[in-house]
Amino acid sequence: MASFVNRRQFTIEWGYCDPAGNVFNSRFFEFFDWGTWALFEKALGVRPADLAGVFGIIGIPLVDASARFLAPARFGDVVELSSRVREFRRSSFDIEHRLTVSGSLAVEGLETRVWAKRHAADPLQIKAQPVPEEVITRFQVP
C-alpha cells in the first residue's frame, strides 16, 4: 500500500543562503521539519498545536535526522519538498523528505520521530506511546 505524500513548493530566499547564494546545509533540516508538520496536518486534519487535545500526546519529537546532499539549491530557485512516512513501527516512525530543484533531486532527508506523551511519574519527561492504528490508516493510500 502506498503512503500519503505531501508536497510544498517554495522559493529559496536570500536569508536561507550563504554569501555565494547556496542554501546553508542546516536550513534543509528546517525545511524537513516544515515538511513533517505539514504532512501530519494534511493527513490527520489536525493542526500541530491541537495534537495534544485530539490524540493526548505532547507531540512527535525528533530522535534522529540525516541528509544526503546531491546538488545545490540556490537563491531564487523554486523547489519542491515532498514528504511521506516511510515506515511506522510500534511507537516510532521514519519520514522521508525529497527536495527537488527543476525536477531534479537535490537533497534527500530522513527523520525518525516518536509518538510521545508526558511521563506519568515525571511530567518533565516524555514517554513513547504506540502510534494509534487510526493514525497509521490516515497515511495509507489504497
pLDDT digits (tens, 9 = 90+) for 90-137: 999 999 999 999 999 999 999 999 999 988 899 889 999 999 999 999
β-partners of residue 81 are: 8, 99
Looking at residue 69, its amino acid is F
CA-CA distance, 20 to 75, in Å (whole number)? 9
Q: How far apart are the first and last CA of the chain?
A: 6
Per DSSP, the three-state class of 40 is helix
- Count of positions (residues) in the chain: 142
Q: Could you give the domains of the chain?
A: 2-141 (3.10.129.10)
Among all chains, which residue has been given the C-alpha cell 511521563? 119
Mean residue pLDDT across the chain:
95
Give the residue from 106, 31, 90, 32 showing the smallest Cα distance to 64: 32
Q: What is the dihedral of CA 42, 100, 73, 69, to 10 degrees?
A: 100
- Report how far apart, in Å, the C-alpha atoms of 100 and of each of 29, 30, 62, 71 are: 15, 16, 23, 9
CA 30 to chain CA centroid, nearest Å: 9
* 94/62 Cα distance (integer angstroms): 10
Q: How much is the average pLDDT of 44-62?
A: 93
Read off the pTM. Answer: 0.93
How many other CB atoms are there within 10 angstroms of residue 59's CB atom? Answer: 18
Calculate what percentage of the chain has a pLDDT beyond 70. Answer: 99
Angle at 13 between CA 113 and CA 81, to 5 degrees: 40
pLDDT band at 2, cuts 50/70/90? confident
* pLDDT band, very low/low/confident/very high, at 1 (cuts 50, 70, 90): low
